[in-house]
Structure 1
Amino acid sequence: MKASTSYHIHHLNLSHGLPLPDLLDMEQGQYLVFWWKSLALGHVFLESRSGLTLAQLLLKVSAALKPAVEMYVAQSGLPKTSWRLWMEQGKQEKWLPYFQDVFQEAIPQEVPATVPISVVICTCNRAPQLQQCLDRLLQLTCLPEEIIVVDNAPKDNASQEVVEQYPSVRYVRESRMGLDVARNTGARQASLPVVAYVDDDVTVHPVWAYYVWESFQNPDVAALTGLVLASHLKSEAQCIFEKHWSFNRGFVEKVYDTYYFKSTLPKGPPVWEIGAGANMAFRREVFQEVGYFDELLDAGAAGCNGDSEMWYRLLAKGFTILYNPKAIVFHEHRENVQELKRQIFFYMRGHAVAALKQHRYHKAGYPQYLTKLLLVSYSRLAIRGFPHYSFQYQTLWAQVTGLLSGLAFYLKHTRHWNQKP
């Protein structure tokens, strides 16, 4: 079935039931995100005119919900039931009360008005996006005690003028270009024990700050990533990104620790799967232990992966990273295919540079991984996409050239990489 090039997003709160029949056989693709109040539980893509029956759709929904619901059932201590069968049979009178019991303890009855975290927003000549981000951030149910905007190499005073509209937000100008330069400036300016980062093109969920803070109540957690959902899927580029490059790492909590690091070291730990820099947080003290973000990575330099390279260093030092799907933001993907190609080029460029740097320090299996990616994976994609190279295959050349550009960038800066982190 041909993938849709746009989707209407439905956020469906299961505490109100499951109204699905009206979504079948619509002209436009439908993207369904299932919630229990503030908890995101799973998602389903429906292609336009899918031809699915209601019974088939209910099977897809129960399968999508299974991992998250089973996690919350285990956490609740309640006995397992036939909730999937009840849902597939349309027996709402059975699964709905069970879900109410399961999620009762997972959602706090009330949250504090503020939590002691510093939120850093790095921005670069995107005043409209910054304004929207700050508007939403300052309307949260639970507010961070400190918000810092780092204005990275601005061409004008537009971002500063936006920040001046919000007396509680601190403005910091960083004239040196580079996302990781800006991230480091934000970390050094932060005054609270937890430093959280969000991109200027995200909208934060009303209780995002609370769940970030709550995660660090576990003393073993040194860093956090959270769930990133798409804000819109109105264009082909946005759909390609969400289906093939998504920041969404699932709806189940995951722990990345020393065991994960050592067990994946021979093939190269896929640290890029841990989360996205658009929604991440760190104990401020860990920067003293492992150093700050590498300023030759990410936007304004190599291209990307300053976040995942930092996670790699944390794991190598024995720290633990938590992926918490309760900490949710909504990301605005690139609307234009040309913009997407440029984004993917720099993703792969930074990906190659970070992987080779990581291998230099710990002899992980990244060279073999990159060789296989270039010679095997991309060859297969070239064959599958031939001759039209439509939808996701449109970015293949950007992937190949980005990876090769990353190899050249790494070799050019060998002296820099010789320095231990």
Structure 2
Amino acid sequence: MTLKPLGLALCALSLATPLIWFPAIAQGRDAVALFSQYLGIWALIAMALAQIISTRLTPVEALFGGLDRAYVLHKWLGIGAMVAILLHDTIDAEMRGLGQETLLVEVAETAGELSLYGLLILVVITIATFIPYHLWRWTHRLMGAFFTAGAFHYLAILKPFDNGDPLGLYTGVFCILGILAFAYRLLPSHLRPSRRYDVTAVTRTGNALAIDMRPNGRGIKAQPGQFAFFQFEGEAPHPFTLSALVAPDGSLRISMARLGDATHRLHHRLQAGAKVQVEGAYGRFNRPRGAKRELWIAGGIGITPFLAWAAAKQDETPVDLVYCVRSADSAAHLEELHTLAANAPNLTLHLHESASAGRLTTEALLDKTKADPRDLHVAYCGPSALREALQKGLSKRGLSQRRFHYELFEIRTGIGLRKLAAHLQKRITERNV
């Protein structure tokens, strides 16, 4: 599961299109300063695209092949924009003969500096994943404000083309779209496409909390394997995979592990009767069509999409569900899973307890399931480290990468600095041995 080529192509085309008009503008101009001007425009368009992706509107997911993939692109567009802005600031973009500087131009220059330093701080907070989520989310809202300052800087400064020229109009449209996207995300949740739910039951299952809820009016439309954003009273919206869907009244269930401050608080205080605002559903984590045999691998709370898949399974395709937990006592919905395995056609449940059996390896996985990787379609939901190990091991044994499906469920991710540091340390250690 990767980003759709169409979405990537449209982004690349949007960023490259300004180059069409630069040859005509370059006549008699400083080429280095013009390059700096292009970097500033590139950064504005990239930030506008990132703002549009953050709206989570339906076309965004359809265009990029899943909201999880779109958010990865959102992150790299932001980082790319930051690099472009720093280069734009470093490389002198000033040109002679553009006109008289006015108070408005001076204010625009100040707005550009404000945008630069503000975005730099916010990008650092974003990729420094050790900074608490609530602080990141609060500061991340300011991205749009600094983008707006950058758009004002672009529109008001002296430049070698007018805002009414093709290049000026093209970039101006992206400025407007980015500001509109920012304004949309500032709307209260009840003014955006979302639904109100009431919590009907809160049940502890293993180390998780199962939360059943019923729509207060019309419910969301969802498929097994999808997730939604849930905003409980007094909390920020968080994404959770739907662990059960109940038709026709639109009731649903999520299952929540204690993985952060918000989930810890909800584990302690959430009760039946609580109000929830639900936005979604999202995701393209669907069962493959025409598979000979399927292998579902769940790590901890990653069991949630497979609960919904198992409940909906009516076909005869053989499926092995391997559920990795520390111990049976910590396993969420274990009794329900045994019932589903007994009732669903050709579904076999394998419980892997790491406390007694150690971490799941590719060898142990194939030994449990007696499966040939060349015949499998694998679906995975759980910790990324285990996913990467199993993906690598199964690939060596003949599994095509296209048949290993997973979602990048972390909305906020770093840029791999820890992995890079670990890799460098390993290489240094190997050389010293």
Give TM-score, length-normalised by structure 1.
0.30
Give TM-score, length-normalised by structure 2.
0.29
Larger helix proportion of the pair: 2
